[in-house]
């Protein structure tokens, strides 16, 4: 007997409700093609309701003492821990990455909940000595209002929490628009927030397309901040539109991250880092390694070790614990990946392994792509410059450390970078000269500690950071307060 796929709802003002016009869209498992559920295909009317609910809730939430807001986030951390396994399975089903990765994704949300709960007892501002006697000066963080969070599908729990939790602890209220490919993980996150005791309307979730729900949020006059993570193309559009309305925008976008392997590197260690950074999450991380910059002296030895490991990666449904690499997210993504492989071959790169879709046996109904490696890649080739967002790695051989640094720095992106060397002097030079938001020394290009700022330089972002104390900046406004307790107009005030 087959059971009908469940129908989910938006949460607006704490009430789960269908879209105004009742439209829905389906959500499928990319490993099996199974229909998982239906979600509201919302319109600008639903966005209006959600923003209005968030605006009303802001009047109360901003007055809740930050330590109390932190207690709710602490409970969210506890609940996420309790539901971790279940949430990870939900995520693997709708997004495809393997279970230990989806567990890691939820864990980042747990870490962020506890970290931001602690911020509720700090939210440090500062005081400074002022020029005059009997006068004080201080700066404190004020919340801004209604925040729109627009999130991608590759980290369906972690990335929403990187936006929601700092926004909430600072006293803002939120409308979340999750990626259409991963609505269920976001729906569960919002359920958990309410189970933890969040007051009604403080977080609202509206499902639907970027073109309709996303656009309506960007243009809504009562949305004060837009926090966006996604592709460079969409991010640029969000930035241009939001600039017209003079809205504050935080953008986290694409990457073209490199692992640099120098001639003195521990090659076994490097192979582990490369493998995980390039093919983990099927290459669908903004921090994924897609360029391998290798000193020519060790290229052959590295390939001898790396290629069998790539070919040994097991593809399949991420729910199977024997599987290393899950499917890619959808049909258009697999086509995009394959088109880049064709471009690479046309441009003259040598295909070492992979380069094809796998659709046989148990994999017949999913979007599986064989982990792929090119060598003889020139830095100006499109496969070395453009974000592919799939399991495709391009090896560029170099003759010196200087050349490796120059190649790393010559892309329009600047999110993460890794270097393998045993020479401490070279690590110091790497720290000084590599243009990157995040540098890993002797480990792969991925993995974030939520205590530290996350984000990239150049075309990866617009200068904001998520996580750590820096993650509060986009959601707070500095308010400066001077108090004069002299009781009279002081002479220096007149002189100034
Ligand atoms: N730097 C970083 O921290 C990270 C960056 N990324 C980047 O994200 C990308 C992959 O995510 P992906 O989901 O495909 O990215 P998209 O840009 O396609 O989508 C991101 C979000 O934006 C929405 N959106 C799309 N068009 C618009 C629009 N016109 N106005 C407002 N919102 C819109 C999407 O909605 P819908 O789903 O309905 O289309 C989705 O919710 C990669 O480029 C990756 O590098 C990913 C993780 C971290
Ligand atoms: O790479 C990404 O797409 C998000 C980073 C999360 C992490 O690396 O922990």
Which domains does the chain possess?
2-253+461-480 (3.40.605.10), 257-441 (3.40.309.10)
Q: Is 459 in the pocket of ligand 1 (CB under 6 A)?
A: no
70 lines ligand 1 (CB under 6 A): no
Q: What percent of the chain has pLDDT over 90?
A: 95
Sign of the torsion angle spanned by Cα atoms 413, 414, 415, 416: positive
Residue with tokens 């796929």: 5
| Active site members | 252
Q: Where are the beta strands (DSSP E) in 79-179?
A: 126-128, 135-143, 146-150, 173-177
**What average pLDDT does range 460-488 have in this prediction?**
94
Tell me: the pLDDT tens digits for 76-105? 999 999 999 999 999 999 999 999 999 999
Query: Is the pLDDT confidence value at 427 over 50?
Result: yes
Ligand 2 contact via 287 beta carbon (within 6 Å) = yes
How far, in Å, from the CA of 56 to the mean position of ligand 1?
Answer: 28
Report whether pLDDT(31) > 90.
yes
> Ligand 1 centroid vs 13 CA: distance in angstroms?
25
Token pair 């801004």 in the structure block, residue: 144
Q: What is the mean pLDDT of the chain?
A: 96
pLDDT bin (cut points 50, 70, 90) of residue 492 is low
Residue 489 has pLDDT above 80, yes or no: no
25-52: average pLDDT: 98
**Phi then psi for 147, rounded to 5 degrees?**
-110, 130
Atom of ligand 1 nearest to the CA of 214: 31
- Which of 205-209, 446-450, 483-487 is least confident? 483-487
Residue nearest to atom 26 of ligand 1 (CA): 210
Sign of CA pseudo-dihedral 342, 327, 2, 25: negative
Compute the average pLDDT of residues 363-368.
96
Phi, psi at 206, each rounded to 5°: -125, 115
Who's near 305: CB < 8 A, 6+ residues apart?
Answer: 267, 268, 271
Does the pLDDT value for residue 1 go beyond 50?
no
> What pLDDT was estimated at residue 387?
96
For the CA of 159, the nearest atom of ligand 2: 4
> Residues of 330-351 as b/e, b for ≥16 C-beta within 10 angstroms?
beebbeebbebbeebeebebee
The model's pLDDT over 137-158, given as tens digits with 9 standing for 90+, comes to 999 999 999 999 999 999 999 9
With left for phi above 0 and alpha for psi between -120 and 50, is residue 190 left, alpha or beta? alpha
Assess whether pLDDT exceeds 50 at residue 6: yes
Alpha-helix residue ranges (DSSP H) falling in 257-330:
267-279, 296-311
Best mutation site among 94, 210, 242, 390 for ligand 1, i.e. most ligand atoms within 8 A of its Cβ? 210
pLDDT exceeds 70 at position 431: yes
Question: Which residue has 């309410």 as its token pair?
Answer: 194
Contact 40, 207 (CB under 8 A): yes
Model confidence over 285-337: pLDDT tens digits? Answer: 999 999 999 999 999 999 999 999 999 999 999 999 999 999 999 999 999 99
DSSP category for residue 315: B
For residue 443, how far is its CA from the centre of ligand 2 (angstroms)? 14
Q: Does the beta carbon of 252 lie inside 6 Å of ligand 1?
A: yes
How far, in Å, CA of 41 to CA of 206, rounded? 9
Between the CA of 153 and the centroid of ligand 1 the distance, in Å, is 7
Q: Residue 408 above 90 pLDDT?
A: yes
C-alpha to C-alpha distance for 386 and 377, rounded to whole angstroms: 13
pLDDT at 131: 87
Residue 267 has pLDDT above 50, yes or no: yes
Beta carbon of 215 within 6 Å of any ligand 1 atom: yes
Residues 312, 354: Cα–Cα separation, whole Å: 11
The β-bridge relationship of strands 416-420 and 257-261 is parallel
Question: 104 CB less than 6 Å from ligand 2?
Answer: no
- Give, using CA atoms, the residue closest to atom 28 of ligand 1: 210
CA–centroid distance, residue 87 to ligand 2 (Å) = 18
Mean pLDDT across the stretch 382-411?
97
Cα 136 to averaged position of ligand 2 atoms, centre (Å)? 43
Closest to 391 in 3D by CA, of 267, 483, 247, 274: 274
Q: What is the largest CA-CA distance in the chain?
A: 87
Is pLDDT at 410 greater than 50 in this prediction?
Answer: yes
Cβ partners under 8 Å of residue 458, min gap 6: 411, 412, 413, 414, 435
pTM: 0.96
Mean pLDDT value of segment 25-33: 98
Q: In this predicted structure, what is the pLDDT of residue 486?
A: 84
Which atom of ligand 1 is nearest the CA belonging to 466? 3
């Amino acid at each position: 007997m087959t059971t009908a796929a469940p129908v989910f709802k938006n949460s607006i003002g704490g009430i789960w409700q269908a879209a105004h016009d009742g439209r829905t869209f389906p959500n499928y498992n990319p490993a099996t093609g199974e229909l998982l559920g239906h979600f509201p295909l919302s319109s600008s009317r639903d966005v209006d309701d959600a923003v209005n609910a968030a605006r009303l809730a802001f009047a109360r939430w901003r007055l809740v003492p930050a330590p109390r807001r932190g207690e709710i986030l602490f409970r969210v951390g506890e609940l996420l821990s309790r539901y971790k396994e279940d949430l990870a399975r939900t995520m693997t089903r709708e997004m495809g990455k393997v279970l230990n990765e989806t567990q890691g994704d939820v864990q980042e949300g747990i870490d962020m909940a506890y970290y931001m709960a602690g911020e509720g007892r700090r939210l440090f501002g500062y005081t400074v000595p002022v020029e005059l006697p009997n006068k004080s000066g201080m700066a404190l963080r004020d919340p801004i209002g209604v925040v729109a969070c627009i999130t991608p599908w590759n980290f369906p729990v972690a990335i929403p929490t990187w936006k929601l939790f700092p926004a909430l602890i600072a006293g803002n209220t939120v409308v979340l628009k999750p990626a259409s490919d991963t609505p269920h993980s976001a729906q569960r996150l919002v359920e958990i927030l309410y189970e933890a005791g969040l007051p009604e309307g403080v977080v609202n979730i509206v499902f639907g397309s970027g073109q309709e729900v996303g656009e309506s949020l960007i243009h809504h006059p009562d949305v004060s901040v837009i926090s966006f993570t996604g592709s460079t193309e969409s991010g640029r559009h969000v930035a241009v539109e939001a600039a017209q309305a003079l809205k504050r925008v935080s953008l986290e976008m694409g990457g073209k991250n490199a692992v640099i392997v120098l001639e003195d590197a521990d090659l076994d260690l490097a192979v582990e880092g490369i493998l995980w950074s390039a093919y983990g999450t099927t290459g669908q991380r903004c921090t994924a390694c897609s360029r391998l910059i290798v000193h020519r002296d060790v290229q052959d030895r590295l390939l001898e070790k790396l290629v069998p490991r790539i070919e040994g990666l097991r593809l399949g449904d991420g729910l199977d614990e024997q599987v290393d690499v899950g499917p890619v997210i959808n049909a258009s993504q697999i086509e995009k990946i394959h088109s880049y492989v064709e471009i690479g071959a046309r441009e003259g790169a040598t295909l070492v392994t992979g380069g094809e879709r796998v659709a046989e046996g148990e994999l017949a109904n999913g979007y599986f792509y064989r982990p792929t490696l090119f060598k003889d890649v020139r830095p100006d080739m499109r496969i070395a410059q453009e974000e592919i967002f799939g399991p495709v790695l391009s090896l560029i051989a170099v003759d010196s450390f200087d050349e490796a640094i120059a190649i790393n720095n010559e892309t329009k992106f600047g999110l993460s970078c890794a270097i393998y060397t045993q020479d401490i002097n070279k690590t110091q030079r790497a720290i000084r000269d590599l243009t990157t938001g995040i540098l890993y020394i002797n480990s792969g290009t991925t993995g974030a500690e939520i205590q530290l700022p996350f984000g990239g330089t150049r075309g990866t972002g617009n200068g904001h950071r998520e996580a750590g104390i820096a993650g509060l900046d986009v959601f707070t406004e500095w308010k400066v307060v001077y108090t004069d307790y002299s009781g009279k107009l002081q002479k220096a005030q007149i002189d100034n």
